[in-house]
Structure 1
Amino acid sequence: MIKETISIEEINGELFNIKLIEPENNAPAAYTHYLHSIDNHYSEIFRDDAIEYVKTVLEYTQKDEIPHLVAEEALQYLLFNYQNDVPFPAPQNPEFQFIDLFAGIGGFRIAGQDNLGECVFSSEWDIHAKATYFANFGKIPFGDITKEETKRNIPFGFDVLCGGFPCQPFSNAGLRKGFEDTRGTLFFDVADILDRNIQNGTPVKVVFLENVKGLKNHDKGRTLKTIDKVLDDLGYEMKYEVLSSKNFGVPQNRERIFIVAYLKTENRNFTFPLGLDSHDKAIFDKEKLSNVKSTKVGDILEINTDSKYTISDKLYAGHIRRKKEHLEKGNGFGFSLFDENSQYTNTISARYYKDGSEILIVQKDGNPRKLTPREAANLQGYDEKFVIHKSNVQAYKQFGNSVSIPVIRTIFNEIKKQLL
């Protein structure tokens, strides 16, 4: 029997102290995925690695070699005493399953769970994003999705593959080879996972991807055409649309391209809830956006903020000088000011922590200030209960890299209609 001197809290503590510093070690991820999957058949995929992880932690804490049987018993002890006391637990009666690739801090996951989806696998390589993900969902994402030791943990039989994959150049071979054109990119691994599920007889029903707006015209449009061809070769019909967060209830002009692909054999008729026409004017679908409320920047601002977010005289002077230089050169680069009555801000980026130049908030007395991390979370549609990384630098990076949850939630709602 597990020694009484070892508590669940101690083992969960060691999760970070010992193992999370090793990004390619998937044992902590298997351990947390197992605890969350015990009520379904996915748990067996993670069981062996979870037992080995518990054994490792027990050996570390007790300085004794732990038999496999004791580690297995300890895992069950943890299981039955495990409290899913996290801000965003999985839905009790899920209606579909999805996996969360390039998971970041879990924007896709929150939106999927809001639509009664269950996340059965997540993957993210950044150690700081993993810590934030664990704090909010109780699961540590697996590591590098390009590695076989990560892919082997992906279960078969889920409904939706989702993720915001990076925009990368493909092969110069054009469109002749399709799948092979994407080798060496992270989209190749998305396609590889889809192909493995097809070969297993459990094809993924829907693919849901997000990327920067520039993907639409990247490499003169060849990149997007290659993605379309690969998905078509795998049996999927692809649709895409450029959407802005400002049309989904958050005051941020964040334009991103969204790709939804579904099995051609399913004979679906998916449409996006809101798009941009050829003149970049919003096309609204009132029925699909009935819950969207009009917002302004003041809606995401905190009432009282620490003076540390006010930029220094030196930084402000530098901003003014650089903006003047850019104007003289005939371009619009430089810092941007907003107040509580502004309809929306610029796009927040992962570099926001450096100087906050893309979004500075006007103050009545003194220099403008940066957004606080909580305001950055609000700008991306994160709930107040979302646990923010304790490092402001990491928090700004994470929200700058994140998806806008209201956009993902709305699209997920349309995807769900295709599944039920």
Structure 2
Amino acid sequence: MKQVYKVGSLFAGVGGICLGFKQATFENNEYELAWANEIDEYACETYRTNFEHKLIQGDINKVLNPNLIDIEIEDLNKKICKETDDKTISRFKSEISMLEEQKHYYEHQREKILKYKIDVLNGGFPCQAFSIAGERKGFDDERGNLFWSIIHLIKDLDKIHGKPRILFLENVKNLKSHDNGNTYKVIKSELEKVGYIIKEEVLNTMDYSDLPQNRERIYIVGFLNEEDAHKFDLFDRIKNLKVKKSSNERMEDTKKVIDYSITSKDYEKYYYTRKKYPHYFITEEEYNQIPPEVRKEERVNLEEQINEMYQFYQVRRGMYVRKNMSDVCPTLTANMGTGGHNVPLIKVNDGIRKLTPEETFKLQGFPIGQGYELPKKYNGRSYSDAQLYKQAGNAVSVPIIKFLAKEILRIL
């Protein structure tokens, strides 16, 4: 008999976890996406372009507790009492009116998120607070505090429908070691307090999928039932399932995600040229003419140093060029669209270029042009490449999610 398990998704981004669960099936059993939550308006636009189920847009803390807005209203009322300027008072009153509308909106969103009994609660909760690429403030960062919304939602769902049977969370590898392991101890302890048996594993995308990207992430699976937890032995045997690929096989995987037919005529903005980046095309003669006390230790010349097709390179810290020695793309990051250093670069037939937004999504396993599309417009304007790069860098690797979701479906 066909069994369908309902899924709720927090911090959904552009839907990588949702897509992985949607793609997963096992013996005629499958998942159904009940709702997703995301705060970023651009990510929401990309999400809505690709999914039809309910998207709850907004701050999850306010969704779960609309009364938080009363605190903001109270603060503004206090300012009004002290203010003498009529224009400022009028502005404060206008802000209060907007907050009152916002509270009504969030009350409605709370009803939506608590409407369904869900079997699986998932979420790639914000990782910047723990990422090695950021300042690693952990729970001192507002984004790190968003972890607690997962606990609050579990408790709220429990009062109405019971707790989700499965909890599925994803984050950066560094979460495990952050603050000498204390951060993860708190997270695991809090999840255990609300009734879950926790299993976790760090997986690298390149080791467990055909995607040519080095991307290590921690995957945390929580089980409400001891029997489910006992059946889930995937992490115990995971190392035996590693994908081992030759350089030629990696090359073939790269060809599937990188469009080598692109030319500078139509995609000029992605190309690195001497005119745009003169400091990345320094000849030996030019280098020798720079006074020793001011020139960089290594000479950078992309045309000379990025010399192999089907490989990935980076200009590290703007100081030197490095080829990825694993024959895969370095970890995609949320700031790769802002220019500067550490942007993945490739050699193509007519020069050197960075990846297009479509290619970065493909490197995360999104089926661009085959059921998943990137928005072209938003609010009457062309959709920003910078936003798409950010979304791809923040996303999960869809095949890894599908792989894990299928195993969860098997034990269910």
Residue 131 of structure 1 aligns with which residue? 45
Query: Aligned with 1:121: secondary structure?
Result: strand
Shift of 1:417: 1.8
Residue 8 of structure 1 aligns with which residue? none
Residues 266 and 199 of structure 1: is their aligned pair in 2 closer, same or farther, counting only changes over 3 Å?
farther
Residue 233 of structure 2 aligns with which residue? 271
Aligned 8 A contact 1:338 1:345 in 2: no
Shift of 1:107: 0.7
| Alignment length (residue pairs) | 303
Partner deviation per Cα, 1:241-271 (whole Å, 9 max, x = no partner): 1111112110000111111111144452223
Shift of 1:135: 1.0
Partner deviation per Cα, 1:334-383 (whole Å, 9 max, x = no partner): 575669x97211011111112273310013543x1011122112111111
Letter in 1 for 2:387: Q
Indicate yes or no: 2:4 matched with 1:100: no
Distance 1:195 1:326 in 2: 57
Aligned 8 A contact 1:121 1:141 in 2: yes
Letter in 1 for 2:374: I
Letter in 1 for 2:367: D
Residue 146 of structure 1 aligns with which residue? 61
Aligned 8 A contact 2:126 2:144 in 1: no
Query: Aligned with 1:412: secondary structure?
Result: helix
Residues 397 and 183 of structure 1: is their aligned pair in 2 closer, same or farther, counting only changes over 3 Å?
closer
Residues 114 and 267 of structure 1: is their aligned pair in 2 closer, same or farther, counting only changes over 3 Å?
closer
Aligned 8 A contact 1:327 1:333 in 2: no
Residues 266 and 144 of structure 1: is their aligned pair in 2 closer, same or farther, counting only changes over 3 Å?
farther
Query: Aligned with 2:272: secondary structure?
Result: coil
Residue 258 of structure 2 aligns with which residue? 301
Shift of 1:315: 5.1
Residue 272 of structure 2 aligns with which residue? 311
Shift of 1:302: 0.8
Q: TM-score, normalised by structure 2?
A: 0.66
Query: Aligned with 1:302: secondary structure?
Result: coil
Residues 135 and 200 of structure 1: is their aligned pair in 2 closer, same or farther, counting only changes over 3 Å?
same
Aligned 8 A contact 2:260 2:349 in 1: no
Shift of 1:301: 1.1
Letter in 1 for 2:51: F
Partner deviation per Cα, 1:262-281 (whole Å, 9 max, x = no partner): 114445222346988xxxxx
Indicate yes or no: 2:332 matched with 1:348: yes
Aligned 8 A contact 1:274 1:284 in 2: no
Residue 285 of structure 1 aligns with which residue? 241
Indicate yes or no: 2:345 matched with 1:388: no
Shift of 1:294: 5.1
Q: TM-score, normalised by structure 1?
A: 0.64
Distance 1:275 1:163 in 2: 24
Letter in 2 for 1:400: G
Distance 1:315 1:140 in 2: 44
Moved over 6 A (4+): none
- Larger relative CO (CA 8 A, sep 6+): 1 or 2? 2
Distance 1:117 1:153 in 2: 19
Structure 1 unmatched ranges of 5 or more? 1-92, 173-181, 277-282
Distance 1:140 1:204 in 2: 18
Distance 1:326 1:195 in 2: 57
Aligned 8 A contact 2:336 2:390 in 1: yes
Letter in 1 for 2:241: D
Letter in 2 for 1:403: V
Indicate yes or no: 2:128 matched with 1:189: no
Aligned 8 A contact 1:165 1:210 in 2: yes
Structure 2 unmatched ranges of 5 or more? 25-29, 66-105, 130-136, 283-294, 300-314, 377-382
Name whichever of 348-357 and 378-387 sits farther off. Answer: 348-357
Residues 113 and 260 of structure 1: is their aligned pair in 2 closer, same or farther, counting only changes over 3 Å?
same
Indicate yes or no: 2:370 matched with 1:359: no
Structure label with greater radius of gyration:
2
Residue 403 of structure 1 aligns with which residue? 396
Partner deviation per Cα, 1:142-166 (whole Å, 9 max, x = no partner): 1211113243321341111111101
Residues 216 and 317 of structure 1: is their aligned pair in 2 closer, same or farther, counting only changes over 3 Å?
farther
Aligned 8 A contact 2:6 2:120 in 1: yes
Query: Aligned with 1:388: secondary structure?
Result: coil
Letter in 1 for 2:17: F
Shift of 1:305: 1.3
Residue 185 of structure 2 aligns with which residue? 225
Residue 238 of structure 1 aligns with which residue? 198
Letter in 1 for 2:43: A
Aligned 8 A contact 1:107 1:404 in 2: yes
Distance 1:103 1:239 in 2: 22
Aligned 8 A contact 2:138 2:178 in 1: no
Distance 1:267 1:127 in 2: 37
Partner deviation per Cα, 1:164-183 (whole Å, 9 max, x = no partner): 101445669xxxxxxxxx99
Aligned 8 A contact 2:9 2:37 in 1: yes
Distance 1:94 1:295 in 2: 37
Query: Aligned with 2:408: secondary structure?
Result: helix
Aligned 8 A contact 2:7 2:121 in 1: yes
Residue 172 of structure 2 aligns with which residue? 212
Distance 2:277 2:402 in 1: 37
Letter in 2 for 1:313: R
